[in-house]
Structure 1
Amino acid sequence: MDPTRRALLVASLAAALAASGRGGARAASAAPETGPGHDMSAFPPEWTRADRIAMVAYPGFTALDLVGPHHMFTSLMGAQVQIVAATRAPVVSDLGLAITPDATFDEAPRDLTVLFVPGSGEGMFRALADPETMRFVADRGARADWVTSVCTGSVILAAAGLLDGRRATTHWGAEAALEPLGAVLEPARVVRDGNRITGAGVTAGLDFGLTMLEILRDRDYAMGVQLLAQYDPAPPFAAGSLDTAPPQIAKMMGAMFEGFPKRAVAAGQAARRAL
């Protein structure tokens, strides 16, 4: 983690500790100070863990699906967070933002704490049709402590056989694709079923990320990171779901996804047969 950002995180978590009454006991294996006035020795030792987190990138992925959770995961002290792809060449997202991977699929750790898969629209179909991407997801997901996704990333997980009989969520435009691929649809912001954690569409990645911080550390840690990010949403419109959007807006946007679930099911089933 960048030293400046770590120092800010330390300050934020220190406030959480003070509020929770946990700041009095000093850890025996204290980490050194990260900057003036930021003494990490008051932190519980379990807050620093050597998590291995792989975040899959593929051509046309939705950037915010990955960037929101990446912000949260890289706030985990001690964690190794890698964006992984077929090669180390920059991967261009659906809207043109290029991300440079940290490792290739071959270079990524064999055994992971967290496997994460972002979603996309057309990019998802490319991922489903790419044997290398699907083999990586199926292989690492079979052993990872936590198998996770945001948006239509859950369609990719389902096609890899990782959501069979599991409750999961996805973007509202793809909900009809999950059950034909073996999952059990639960249309919620974040869904946990055992060690499978899935987030709904795009911005749900922030809620997903905070959920993962609580799971991998604890609630105080997650709330400290939330405060540091000033994640206190107050959207100017109540149109963030099919339930709250005006009917004419829901109809207009829904038309964009006509036929999408059927295509996703066909592509997912083909990917699963190929595996």
Structure 2
Amino acid sequence: MAAAAAAAAAWPALAAGSDTPGLIPPDRSVRIAMLLFPGMTALDLVGPQTLLAGMAQDSLYLVAEQIGPVATDTGLALVATHSFETCPQALDVLFVPGGDGTPAQMRNPTLLAFLRERAARAMWLTGVCTGSLILGAAGLLRGYRATSHWCLRNAALPLLGAEPVAERVVFDRNRVTGAGVSAGLDLGLALAARLRGAEYARTAQLVAEYAPEPPFQAGTPAQAGPAAVRAADAILAPLVAGATEAARCPERGVSDAALPR
């Protein structure tokens, strides 16, 4: 009840009886916390961060267990500006990326506790790629429609109590999830429209010149063909095995009564 009361106070749309947050006034900065962890995929975060940063001004927080550089799964380091302890309590957007480090974070009690605590007062809970599995491991996708990277969407999301959906971006009440890696750009634009309106999102898309014309049509298993799927499966096999096992892990359990709605 306390979590619901805090949410109603923070989200005017919910206080009026809706289960989806409304627009944030343009004269208020959007408070966005984006999670960093070792082995994350940089593009999962950098794409949406690029599209959302303009509305956050000085209230975009890159959060990790400790302040400082965090190595991604390709070796590129991103810098955490806030720790779990110093991250603000009230957030408009709580964002989780995915990557090769996902299985370890699905078993990380400190990180999962941070997500559950901040989720109680966050307007939007969002994840890209296997970041949705981390949200799920925290118990935050039970009973929600969600997507993830194609290699784990159907295998792992049901184990976490979510309904898998084969779409690029999935909204279900105040949960927003994106498919693999590059889908973070689509999630960023879709979420920008929910936060500031469609015209803001169109302008952000134009500034970023986001008009993709990929040289190959191979972005899904159906498009890529059997040979590419076999090669991708071999690359992704350790992630699939680790995340699926973590999704089955009983240590992640938390009672429904303890979860924010």
Which amino acid in structure 1 is aligned with residue 136 of structure 2? Answer: A
Deviates more, 1:128-137 or 1:220-229: 128-137
Equivalent position SS for 1:46: coil
CA 1:94–1:257 in 2, change beyond 3 Å: closer, same or farther? closer
Deviation for aligned residue 1:106: 0.4
Among candidates 53, 60, 65, match of residue 32 of structure 2 = 53
Amino acid at match of 2:183: A
1:131 aligns with 2:109: yes
Matched, 1:210 2:186: no
Pairwise CA distance, 1:250: 1.5
1:246 to 225, 232, 235: 225
Percent identical pairs in the alignment equals 44
Q: Which runs of 5+ in 1 are unaligned?
A: 1-44
Report the 3-state secondary structure (helix = DSSP H, G, I; strand = E; otherwise coil) of the residue aligned with 1:263.
helix
Q: After the TM superposition, which residues 139-218 of structure 1 pair with which residues of structure 2 at under 5 Å, given as runs? A: 139-175=117-153, 176-218=155-197
What amino acid maps onto 2:33 in structure 1?
A
Q: Residues of 1 paired with 2:179 and 2:205: CA distance?
A: 19
**2:84 is matched with which residue: 87, 98, 105?**
105
User: Against the structure 1 CA distance between its residues 270 and 59, is the aligned structure 2 distance closer, same or farther, given a 3 Å change threshold?
Assistant: farther
Q: 1:94 aligns with which of 58, 68, 73?
A: 73
Structure with larger RCO (C-alpha < 8 A, sep 6+): 2
Rg larger for? 1
Q: Offset of 1:49 from its aligned partner?
A: 2.1
Q: Does 2:246 align with 1:267?
A: yes
Q: Which range is displaced more, 82-91 or 240-249?
A: 240-249
Q: Give yes or no for contact 2:32–2:56 (8 Å, CA) kept in 1.
A: no
Contact (CA 8 Å) 2:152, 2:244: kept in 1 or not? Answer: no
| TM-aligned CA deviation for residue 266 of structure 1 | 2.7
Tell me how far 1:271 sits from its aligned partner. Answer: 4.8
SS of 2:180's partner is coil
State whether residues 72 and 78 of structure 2, in contact with CA within 8 Å, keep that contact through their aligned partners in structure 1.
Answer: yes
Q: What TM-score do the two structures reach when normalised by structure 2?
A: 0.83
Change (3 A) 1:97 1:130: same
**CA distance in 1 between partners of 2:239 and 2:93 (Å):** 28
Instruction: Provide the rounded CA distance (Å) in 2 between the counterparts of 1:140 and 1:118.
Output: 16
Unaligned stretches of 5+ residues in structure 2:
1-23, 256-261
8 Å CA contact 2:53–2:60 kept in 1: the answer is yes
